[in-house]
Each structure stands twice: as C-alpha cells, then as structure tokens.
Amino acid sequence: MGIVRTYQDLEVWQVAIELAVEVTRLANRFPGNELYALGLQLRRAAVSVSSNIAEGYGRSTRPEYVRFLRIARGSNAEVSSLLVVAERLGYLNGETAARPRETSERVAAMLTRLLQTLEGR
C-alpha cells in the first residue's frame, strides 16, 4: 500500500465500502415487509463500518481514531450477525450470503490488525 493521505487511501475503508455496496444490494431484495425493518438495520450497520473508519481518521488524536475503529469493528460484527438472521429467515441463502460474509470477515481482520498497530501490540 502506498502513502495514506486521506481515509480513502486506507485499504480497510475501501473494503468496507465494498461491504456496504454488497449488503445494500442484497438487503434491497428483501421482501417488502423487511425492507424497512431488518433490511434497513443491515444497510445502516454496513454503511456505519466505513463511516466510522472515515470519522475516526478525521479526528485529531490517536485515542479518538482507535475508539472509532472499535465502533467500526462493532458495526461489522452487527452486519455479520444480521446476515445470519436474514439467512435463517430465508431472505438469503448460503450462496448469496457468502460474498458479504467473506467481505465482512476480511474487514474484521483488517480492523484488528490496524487496531493492534495503533495500540502498539
């Protein structure tokens, strides 16, 4: 990876954007009664991941950045959990849920590594 000048240069932010797009496309196909319930919650959680990475990057101190990265990690875990719920309710099958699940796992690993680096572990 090259020089990081903005949060948009962060690979973890770029992958989190992929996650938001993947999840939004899936959630928009939920049945009408779930578009504004489970679908909305899933879309909001997915968008929250990249948003918190960006907001944390824009903060003035490392502790604030770390705090927002932890929030992003929590939102990513929420996405993962909601994908399981949607799959168990039959709105997704294993095949359609596989890609966003893999992307979410990738984001989780990247956030963990970034947090370890920033926290000096």
Question: Would you say domain 7-118 falls under CATH 1.20.1440.60?
Answer: yes
Split the chain (121 residues) into runs of 10 and give each run's mean pLDDT. 83 98 95 87 97 95 96 98 95 91 98 94 69
Q: In whole angstroms, what separates CA 104 from the centre of its chain?
A: 6
Q: What is the pLDDT of residue 60?
A: 81
User: Where do the structural domains in the chain lie, given as residue ranges?
Assistant: 7-118
State residue 28's pLDDT score: 92
Q: What is the pLDDT of residue 24?
A: 96
- Residue 1: the pLDDT is 53
- Non-local CB neighbours of 26 within 8 Å, separated by 6+ positions: 42, 86, 92, 96, 97, 100
- Type of residue numbered 98: A
pLDDT computed for residue 103 by the predictor? 98
In terms of Cβ atoms closer than 10 Å to its own Cβ (0-12, 13-18, 19+), residue 6 is exposed
Query: What is the model's pTM?
Result: 0.93
